[in-house]
Amino acid sequence: MSRSCELGRPGFAMSSRESLLPVTIWSDFAPMDGEDAGGKNGSMKGSYKDAKGRERWSCNDALAQKLKELHDVLVIGNYEESHAARYPRLAHMISRHAESIEVMDAEGRIAQLPGVSEVIEEIISEFLATGTCRKMEFGDEFFSPPPRSVLELTKIPRLGAKTARTLYQEHGISSLRDLGEALEEGRLAEVKGIGKGMEEAIRRSIDG
């Protein structure tokens, strides 16, 4: 089946409070690490073969990326880690699922996926329809989402969501700009989990 992989369906509407981010195109996202979705193997708008010849779906890769991002938002926002941990596992499973999750959602079959509850089914449908989800944007009774700029920190190699949480919650660092200033002022030496090696990795990432 040839189908454009877009975040956002025509005609989908939300209330004013629930208006989320601008619609994002699935092709804005890369496949999972180590997998090739370009060139002769296919495009970001359909299926492709991975290095082992297995069929993969670019939409599934993009959804997996968003689920991993949700995990980071939850951890940084002090959400219960045992619950947040389900999302990377789900992302791994979805990225390798043999069928397009977008098609399954359109046919009402998301609940057939292993470990998918009604709550997670709704989150997946929201991601497919809007590019984000209410939990990520508004939080819930258990946590308040951090500024989206905090996610910039997790793009630095070896700097995970827990360290980003420490930087944000304990040191008020909420963006790469804040991080660069803290690095230049020598304040990162005070941060648990950041040694000289990490400081150099941060410097390389910021300097580009």
- Closest CA relative to residue 94, chosen from 115, 69, 63: 63
Q: What is the pLDDT of residue 11?
A: 38
| Tokens matching residue 71 | 């995990």
Q: What is the pLDDT of residue 208?
A: 76
Tell the burial category of 200 from Cβ atoms under 10 Å away from its Cβ (0-12, 13-18, 19+). exposed
Q: From the CB of residue 148, how many other CB atoms can be counted at a distance below 10 Å?
A: 15
pLDDT tier at 193, thresholds 50, 70, 90: confident
Residues 6+ apart with CB under 8 A from 22: 131
Look-up of token digits 């819930």: 140
Q: What is the pLDDT of residue 180?
A: 96
Q: What is the pLDDT of residue 1?
A: 41
Give the helix/strand (H/E) hosting 56.
strand 55-57
C-beta of residue 73 within 8 angstroms of C-beta of residue 145 = yes
- Closest CA relative to residue 162, chosen from 92, 100, 94, 73: 73
46 has a pLDDT exceeding 60: yes
41 has a pLDDT exceeding 50: no
Domain annotation for the chain: domains and CATH numbers: 26-138 (1.10.150.110), 148-207 (1.10.150.20)
Distance, in Å, from the CA atom of 36 to the CA atom of 20, rounded to the nearest integer, reads: 30
pLDDT tier at 6, thresholds 50, 70, 90: low
113-150 confidence digits (pLDDT tens): 998 999 999 999 999 999 999 999 999 998 999 999 99
158-174 confidence digits (pLDDT tens): 999 999 999 999 999 99
pTM of the complete model: 0.78
